[in-house]
Amino acid sequence: MDEKATEISSLGEFGLIDLLTRDFPLRNASSLKGVGDDCAVMEYKDSEVLVSTDLLVEGIHFDLTYVPLKHLGYKAAVVNFSDIYAMNGHPRQITVSLAISRRFTVEHMEELYAGIRLACDIYGVDLVGGDTTSSRSGLVISITAIGDAPKDRIVYRSGAKDTDLICVSGDLGAAYMGLQLLEREKVASAGQKDFIPQFGGKEYLIERQLKPEARRDVIENLAKHGIVPTSMMDISDGLSSELLHICKASDVGCRVYEDRIPIDYQTALMAEELNMNLVTAAMNGGEDYELLFTVPLHAHEEIKKIPGVKVIGHVTKPSLGAYLVTRDGAEIPIRAQGWNPLAG
């Protein structure tokens, strides 16, 4: 940080909130009153309200050794937007609550909020409230996202049917490989004053980890093509885990084909460099924030018209179980080996 270092206590809670939230205009008609009163006021007339909350704890969900605060603010907001898109809705408002330890300055918090503001600008979301308090150990961020969708277009995890197609957006495993790269360079930098991390040719992986995007474009394209998925989730904990969630909620089985899983070239190179199994990384890595969804078989031709979406398998009867079909035709049971926030 530069020479400026304003202690947060010099502003007080309300002074800090005023400073951090002053450049957040209200964009959505549903936002009647934002920051500055006891409550935000919102009005949704013809749609159902969607609410999602995420809690991010320093040392568990992020490492400030290599995560810039602006990127952290952006990511914290976007992953909540992703949850709303995963219900086939649109995010409209967020509240942001922070627990802040004494090592953070006002300038640090301004960096964090610059990232949140950028996310709100890009996705058209309003900041309408929040809270701040002190922390004895690091930084804690809690964001609640509020969105909406027409009642007949909300998509749950529980609607997948036998013979439905299983689709994913984008590519998988890149965010996980980005994390492995950041952790590797963190270890290599220990005790070195002028260490320069080796990220050349791997910028995509770093971006996928530090600055993910929510797939608003896919939601808009599904609507444009007249497709309402039968089930949907965003891929935060890994494809395997999310597939099993859908299978359990919908009481179905699935077959997913190894050779159809979309993987970026940089991800493949990094897996080889680290001597890791590429498909395992793509299936279990997590934090891709792509959309996993199912559509009826008759939607196949329309799905092919949506850029960045790939059919990777199909839904089966529950008695057939959930399996990954390898390139040589073998069937391997899908197991949830992704991120478990309560492990360890």
The residue type at 258: E
**Has residue 264 got a pLDDT over 60?**
yes
Residues of the chain with CATH 3.90.650.10: 165-333
* Percent of the chain with pLDDT strictly greater than 70: 97
CATH number of 165-333: 3.90.650.10
What integer pLDDT is reported at residue 342 of this predicted model? 46
Short-list 175, 220, 146, 224, CA closest to 62: 175
SS3 at position 211? coil
Mean predicted confidence (pLDDT) in 246-252: 98
Give the Cα separation of 125 and 147 in Å (integer).
Answer: 9
Residue 8 Cα distances to 50, 98, 133, angstroms:
33, 12, 11
Helix 265-273 crosses helix 174-189 at what angle (to 10 degrees)? 40
- List 232's β-bridge partners, or say none: 293
Q: Are 195 and 66 in contact (CB under 8 A)?
A: no
Convert the pLDDT of each residue in 162-205 to its tens digit. Answer: 999 999 999 999 999 999 999 998 988 887 777 777 788 999 99
Residues of the chain with CATH 3.30.1330.10: 8-153
**Has residue 334 got a pLDDT over 80?**
yes
Convert the pLDDT of each residue in 202-226 to its tens digit. Answer: 999 999 999 999 999 999 999 999 9
CATH topology of domain 8-153: 60s Ribosomal Protein L30; Chain: A; (3.30.1330)
Mean predicted confidence (pLDDT) in 272-290: 94
What integer pLDDT is reported at residue 1 of this predicted model? 43
